[in-house]
Structure 1
Amino acid sequence: MEKSVESNMLDQQLVQQFHNEGFVIARGLLTEQEIDDIKKTAMNMHAGGPIKGCFDPVPKEKADQDPLKLYPRMIHPHKVNGTLKEYMLHPNIKQVLANLFNEEPLAAQSMFYFKPPGSRGQALHQDNFYLKVEPGTCIAAWVAVDDADEENGGLVVVPKTSELDIMCPHKADIKESFTALEVEVPEGKSVEQCNMKAGDVLFFNGSVIHGSYPNQSKDRFRRSFICHYVGESTSRIGHGYAPLYRFDGTPVDTDASADGLPCGIDWEYEFELH
């Protein structure tokens, strides 16, 4: 069954699908004009060169034929660009999140992924491994800025993994993934491709296993604008996410979660999200 909504409202049946499956796609949640605005904003930022604390592209002659060195992802672009902050706080996204959290949502993070042709994917992982939200978990809103499918490395999810504990990761294949850690698909579960059109938004729970495979297309970017949110009842979150924001733009301070990671050991890991 397709997990999607055709309007800006999530009815109770689709909310239940989110809670059962761990994810739901809101079809056409952002307009063509809004998506074009996001795309132009990010591409103009890239053309302007490195932005400290956000992204650090290298010249072509230093990229070693790695597309992701030319087009690295942006981390927290909302902190340096007002337009992307506005889209992080988009009212349609708030409306969906309020139904899914059943409380007021707060914005915790923004990212922009370019993923040009030939780029590696991102190994399967769980977002709350990194965000460490307490109590509860986070919800991601993954905005397709280009059409996304298997060919250009669209997102994949593992349904019905939203109730899992945060799993112990192992090393990923860095020839296929630009991040260093991955988790296994649990026995009895399988990976599902999320085919999306530009303007669709995929919402998924912070325990849901997800990731992407390489962009195998010859000429198609797979750009995406991804934000993470928590409910207003959140009392702690990992280092690096402060401040949180209400949807009117006002900041909210919260305590930092403990540094401990799953498995009872301290992992040396890249601070990586999809």
Structure 2
Amino acid sequence: MTTQWVSPEQLLQYKQQGYAVIPGMFAEHEVARLKQGLREVWTEGIRRRTILQSMLFPVESLFPPLRNVHQGHKDLLNWALDRRTFGTASELLGEGALLVGSTGFYKCPGAKQLPLHQDNYDIGADPSAGCAFWISLDGADPGNGGLKMVPRSHRLGLLKPRMPGSRSTYGQSVPVPDHHEAVDVVTAPGDVVVFHGFTVHGSHANRTRYDFRNSLVLHFVGESVKSLFVQNRELLNSAGDKIFRPVNKSHSVKRLFLTSDSN
């Protein structure tokens, strides 16, 4: 297969390890524009009071994940539809890609760790799990909330989740699978981390006093996807056209079953 956006070595690592890092895909000025777009979305959330401060988490509550930022911001939509994003996703998936959603992360100083998890647990793509395209907008390392990946975990399918047992984490989580171990991923601004929808991954807490760890993640599925969870049914193709798929009811039932005794 001839690749344009992903090198043969990166494609091989993605297939074998479940993730790969593509250095410097976005230039410094492009990173600045992406960060500006996220700031505009965040500012609008503050203005409209959809972002509210909690006294329990006074800083972190002011910087929540910004969901589907491409839907209300023209510049961020253009970035989501960029040839590099769709081209990379298509090369990884081996077919035309469809955009599921986008999320901006600030990862403010003091932000908790994101527990190890699998993205397709919440996306519910069937029959294949899709992929993620994670743009590093700041330098990221274990000190300020950088990613961690579990190599080869994408081969294990959907794992049984558990509720986190510590106040330092949130959301569903999965343990490190037997005979696997988590590794840290260090990135520079403009680097992109791509990973499979079944790859177990998370991020460290931000232990710095002043440094944010900005990032933008896009999720894709292949055009052959037959169904997804109801909140993910409205997809976009590379031309920006809306594409719809049925609800994945079987994955929903499995998800409820996996959650019901996960304590």
TM-score by length of 2: 0.91
Do residues 141 (structure 1) and 136 (structure 2) align? no
Larger mean CA deviation between 43-52 and 144-153 belongs to 43-52
**Pairwise CA RMSD of aligned residues?**
2.1
Measure, in 2, the Cα distance between the counterparts of 1:116 and 1:263: 32
Larger mean CA deviation between 22-31 and 257-266 belongs to 257-266
Note if contact 2:160-2:258 (Cα within 8 Å) is conserved in structure 1. no
Q: Taking structure 1 as reference, are residues 181 and 213 closer, same or farther at Cα in structure 2, changes over 3 Å only?
A: same
Q: Taking structure 1 as reference, are residues 251 and 79 closer, same or farther at Cα in structure 2, changes over 3 Å only?
A: same
Partner of 1:260: 253
Partner of 2:37: 41
The residue correspondences of 1:139-218 to structure 2 (distance < 5 A) are 139-177=131-169, 179-218=170-209
TM-score by length of 1: 0.88
Larger mean CA deviation between 12-21 and 108-117 belongs to 12-21
Q: Deviations over 1:80-135 (max 9, x none)?
A: 11111111112112222121111111100100111110111211100111111111
Measure, in 2, the Cα distance between the counterparts of 1:230 and 1:160: 20
Partner of 1:236: 227
- Tell me the secondary structure at the aligned position of residue 167 of structure 1: coil
Answer 1 or 2: which has greater helix percent.
2
Do residues 126 (structure 1) and 124 (structure 2) align? no
Q: Deviations over 1:124-152 (max 9, x none)?
A: 10011111111111100011111110110
Measure, in 2, the Cα distance between the counterparts of 1:230 and 1:241: 11
Counterpart residue identity of residue 225, structure 2: T
2:52 to 48, 58, 72: 58
Q: Taking structure 1 as reference, are residues 13 and 65 closer, same or farther at Cα in structure 2, changes over 3 Å only?
A: closer
- Tell me the secondary structure at the aligned position of residue 84 of structure 1: helix
Measure, in 2, the Cα distance between the counterparts of 1:147 and 1:237: 33
How far is the alpha carbon of 1:236 from its aligned partner? 0.5
List alignment gaps of at least 5 residues for structure 1.
Answer: 1-6, 270-274
| Structure 1 outlier segments of 4+, above 4 Å | none
Measure, in 1, the Cα distance between the counterparts of 2:203 and 2:67: 18
Q: Taking structure 1 as reference, are residues 48 and 23 closer, same or farther at Cα in structure 2, changes over 3 Å only?
A: same
1:28 to 24, 27, 41: 24
Note if contact 1:176-1:213 (Cα within 8 Å) is conserved in structure 2. no
Measure, in 2, the Cα distance between the counterparts of 1:267 and 1:146: 38
Counterpart residue identity of residue 29, structure 1: M
Partner of 1:246: 237
Measure, in 2, the Cα distance between the counterparts of 1:140 and 1:50: 28
What percentage of aligned pairs have identical amino acids? 23
Partner of 1:73: 65
Note if contact 1:260-1:266 (Cα within 8 Å) is conserved in structure 2. no
Measure, in 2, the Cα distance between the counterparts of 1:79 and 1:51: 18
How far is the alpha carbon of 1:12 from its aligned partner? 2.7
Measure, in 2, the Cα distance between the counterparts of 1:234 and 1:265: 22
